[in-house]
Chain A
């Protein structure tokens, strides 16, 4: 029983990490209909920048996190204004090609600048185990889950409760009507992409403090994020959370009771099952465009 509880705790923690890292992807897809294949690379940049600001600029973790968020928001804004904008309204394929190209560029530029060595991001406090009954977790993991939950909630509130969020939703329902109503849609698109990038980078830095940051981690992150987003339903926040937790727990149970060697298979088996029986995902965001 203790063993089961520990597996469940491991699964929940990893699931929360999956949800957090998939959030930016689902946001950009759900609101902008851009399939962002460079998502994993924004995550990676978050980790690498996190290493830079903590190890080289000597900032403390939370200050560093804020700086990384601001930097990545700016980068996201610029990427949208200078790159994504050029292919907007031309269907999904040009956007896919563009983001794949962007991902290749970002990986190789990072390899060129910092090299392929794994980097350590100093955590918010010293690592140490925390005992909850028979279960062991670590302080940094709990912190990452807490900050992740806060980020999910904040993004949700931003989209549902603020003026900017209303403008976002209006723009993506009907760009023409939105601009007729006086919304500056260019800025709304750029803000959405910036928000998606920031979420990706935040999760990248948080998780780099638990694991490590590395230039070529992006591919794997993108892959897992796509699994999570397909499970939960493209564009749905609740879906990303449910999909992440489902994947995390499924992997932990499979690894615990069967074999850890083939644990990556689980995600794809789940995806195939979902696509067969509920192709819109567990939660689907029915935000069809007019």
Chain B
């Protein structure tokens, strides 16, 4: 047993000192929830990531080698995600990590990535304080709820004529964070908060919550939820005959959400970092390729996986080696032309420069009604 521990410590040391020298491929680890109530969204990230790697490899790979994507199921849980990272680093000897969807899971794997000195990029986790922890190996290629709220609160309050709003969010750091940010910015504009309620991941029945909502009679309902929870929620909002305007954050501007929610999706406003209907030549090309491969238009998470992997691949190419420090330095200098704008990183590793959009779901299509660049904050 002692020998085993010693052996793995030695191996980890070797891996950190000279990672993957003898390997035929350059390995990148991807940690996403592949089971559980956000599994579907995690799967979208994986689809986007696979497409990105396919493109990079078709163009000759990096450092003269093909990239190999190794995918692990972190289940959005901190403990499982940490296990996944340990396995990816120790056994698979990855040179870069992408993950882990839920902010709580990402927060848990950040110190592990730092311990092994492996750069970690998240394309999804949006809790604001992740980039405030001074972890030099962590980069966030995503918007934060605060940045979204700042970009769209004013437009929402004016366009939807909001006098009072009820806030409903999934009971985790992302949901709570989203409600915090949006309620702060909307309150500053004089919009009254009449109700704030949370529900657990995987909840299927919202009638009790919505009964409360109906009694509160708000002008608008802000919802922070992912595809599965969100689609059931908006269906039940309509079933209960609530006519308040629904807007929110999450994966709303996706074909699947619209299909699941049916007529109930009509007229919903969503602040999202990405919509397939965003007008830009790069985006049209991306949508076409994605649709050809998966038979469905990309949503927020497909794009997130695509962008995160492209950023890591470009950084490895830019570093000219698989040395962690070189990759980290290259990530810092990222200038990646994504379907939705140009990604760059601040000193703290927060991405900026790309466009976020506000969409309205009309006849089964997310129609872009406003777009705004996500700006650097420090």
Chain A residues within CB distance 8 Å of chain B: 3, 6-7, 10-11, 13-14, 17, 107, 111, 115-118, 120, 127, 129, 136, 138, 207, 211-212, 214-217, 220, 251-252, 255-256, 259-264
CB–CB B171/A211 < 8 A = no
A259 to B200, CA, bound (A): 11
- Given A115-B43, A216-B35, residue A261 in contact with residue B198 (CB < 8 A): yes
Contacts of B231 in A (CB 8 A): 118, 212
Provide the residues of chain A in CB contact with B34, threshold 8 Å. Answer: 111, 116
Name which of B83-91, B134-142, B206-214, B306-314 contacts chain A: B206-214
**Minimum Cβ distance to chain B for residue A204 (Å):** 12
Within 8 A of A (CB), among B249-291: 256, 259-260, 262
Cβ contact within 8 Å between B197 and A260: yes
User: Complex formed: what's the CA distance from A87 to B232 in Å?
Assistant: 41
**Residue from B39, B212, B240 in contact with A216 in the complex, judged by beta carbons closer than 8 Å:** B39
> Distance in Å from the Cβ of A272 to the closest Cβ of chain B?
19
- Against A, the Cβ 8 Å flags (1 = close, 0 = not) of B193-217 are 0000111101011011101100100
Nearest chain-A residue to B215 (Cβ)?
A3
Interface string of B34-51 (1 = CB under 8 A from A): 111101101100000000
Q: Are B240 and A136 in contact (CB under 8 A)?
A: yes
Nearest neighbor of B240 in chain A, beta-carbon distance: A136
- Interface residues in chain B, defined as those with a beta carbon under 8 Å from any beta carbon in chain A: 34-37, 39-40, 42-43, 171, 197-200, 202, 204-205, 207-209, 211-212, 215, 227-228, 231-232, 235, 239-241, 256, 259-260, 262
- A117 CB contact (under 8 Å) in B36, B40, B199: B40
Query: In the assembly, what is the distance between CA of A217 and CA of B40, in Å?
Result: 12
B37/A216 in contact, CB under 8 A: yes
Q: A111 contacts which chain B residues (CB < 8 A)?
A: 34-35, 39
For residue B39, which residues in chain A have a CB less than 8 angstroms away from its CB?
A: 111, 116, 215-216
Question: In the complex, A111 Cα to B212 Cα: how many Å?
Answer: 36
Q: Are B200 and A264 in contact (CB under 8 A)?
A: yes
Other than the given A216-B36, A251-B208, 4 more pairs (CB < 8 A) read A14-B207, A17-B205, A255-B209, A260-B197
Closest 6 CB pairs of A and B: A261-B198, A116-B39, A255-B208, A211-B204, A10-B207, A260-B209
Smallest Cβ-Cβ distance to A255: which chain B residue:
B208
